[in-house]
Amino acid sequence: MRLVQLSDIHVGGLFVQSVFDAVVDEVNRLAPDAILVTGDLTDDGILPQFDRARNELKRFSCPDIIVIAGNHDYRHTGYLLFKKFFPSKHVYEFDDAVVLALGTARPDRDEGEVGYRQNMWMKKTLAKYDDKVKIVAMHHHLVGIPDTGTDKILILDAGDTLHACLQAKVDLVLCGHKHRPWAWNLGPLAIAYAGTTSSTRFRGFFENAYNIIEIEDGKARVDIKIVGKKRFPLSELVERYKPFLEEA
Give the Cα separation of 132 and 50 in Å (integer): 33
Give the Cα separation of 162 and 189 in Å (integer): 9
Confidence at residue 79, expressed as pLDDT on a 0 to 100 scale: 94
Confidence at residue 147, expressed as pLDDT on a 0 to 100 scale: 80
Q: What is the mean pLDDT of each run of 10 residues along the chain (248 residues)?
A: 97 96 98 97 97 98 95 95 92 96 93 95 96 97 84 84 96 96 95 97 93 96 98 95 62
Distance of CA 140 to the CA centre of its chain: 8
Q: Provide the residue type at 232 as one letter.
A: F
Using alpha carbons, select from 225, 235, 237, 231 the residue that is nearest to residue 23.
Answer: 225
CB-based contact 44:72 (threshold 8 Å): yes
Confidence at residue 246, expressed as pLDDT on a 0 to 100 scale: 54
Domain 2-247 has CATH 3.10.20.30: no
Q: What is the full DSSP assignment across 77-95? A: THHHHHHHHS---SEEE-S
| Stretch (H or E) spanning 99 | strand 97-101
Confidence at residue 152, expressed as pLDDT on a 0 to 100 scale: 67
Q: Quick one: CA dihedral 80, 72, 99, 142, positive or negative?
A: negative
What is the DSSP-derived secondary structure letter of residue 199? Answer: B
Confidence at residue 245, expressed as pLDDT on a 0 to 100 scale: 55
Give the Cα separation of 175 and 6 in Å (integer): 10
Confidence at residue 244, expressed as pLDDT on a 0 to 100 scale: 59
Confidence at residue 248, expressed as pLDDT on a 0 to 100 scale: 44
Beta bridge partners of 175: 193
CB-based contact 211:20 (threshold 8 Å): no
| Stretch (H or E) spanning 211 | strand 209-216
Give the Cα separation of 179 and 39 in Å (integer): 11
What is the domain partition of the chain in residue ranges?
2-247
Q: Provide the residue type at 181 as one letter.
A: P
